[in-house]
Amino acid sequence: MKTKKAAKDMSVAELAAYIDQSVLKPEFTQEEIRKYIQEGIDYGCRTVCVNPASLDIASKLTEGTFTKICVVCDFPFGVSTTASKIIQAEEYCKRGDIFELDVVANYGWIRSEMWNEVKADIQAVCDVCHKYETKVKVILETDALTVEQIKKATEVVIQAGADFVKTSTGFFTGGKSDGATEEVIGAMLEIAKDRCMLKGSGGIRTREYFLKLIDMGIDRMGIGYKSTPIVLGVSEENPDNEETY
């Protein structure tokens, strides 16, 4: 979504509304989960993105705040059966406090050009989530794909009825880990146009790049908990090697 206002002229609150703060590391203690969710709330992030086991904590902390809950589904590999994904989505959404759900597409199927299966898999999850008025973001794991596969998969995601198409999990280990590069974001925007929103994740660690992606027309970004104050311009510390979901 191209905004009329340049990102450099936006307030901290306006910029924070672009952020899903990632609180997804599986080794986090309960204390750490509470700490980083609360930081996302304090910064005014649009959502905190959490694992399903953290939903009760997130629900309690975000209640009555601007910050909503984004839960991941079949994360980070996306290789459960469609029936399993449906059960997962239903279990989370029926709580009534889930704003958005980020589901991982079966990117092995994308690489195999199984487009009918990819579409059916995504559409099944969208149908469940939309029943509860929960928006769906579909993660393609773009580091595993070619640019042409990314473009085709973006079109399929749109046809399946998803609200967002998204780049990465931040947990890909099968090759490069570039995440939301300009080339990838540009390719997805070219296909999505105004038909679907776009979330970038992975490699968004500097304020300069964060602002650039907003000006390019991105709708949301997954930002690691250490990088949030950096991109918002409230801290100058450089978080070395911090993965950004």
Which residue spans within the chain are E strands per DSSP?
19-23, 47-50, 68-73, 100-104, 135-139, 164-166, 197-201, 220-224
Q: What are phi and psi of 9, to 5 degrees?
A: -95, 0
Q: How far apart are CA 112 and CA 102, in angstroms?
A: 22
**Burial of residue 165, with CB atoms counted within 10 A of its CB: 0-12 exposed, 13-18 middle, 19 or more buried:** buried
> Exactly one of 163, 166, 219, 226 is catalytic; which is it?
166
Q: Are 220 and 19 in contact (CB under 8 A)?
A: yes
Q: Are 34 and 14 in contact (CB under 8 A)?
A: no
Active site residue 166: yes
Q: How far apart are CA 170 and CA 226, in angstroms?
A: 14
Active site residue 56: no
> Exactly one of 119, 199, 219, 226 is catalytic; which is it?
199
> Exactly one of 20, 74, 102, 143 is catalytic; which is it?
102
- 116 three-class SS: helix
Active site residues: 102, 166, 199
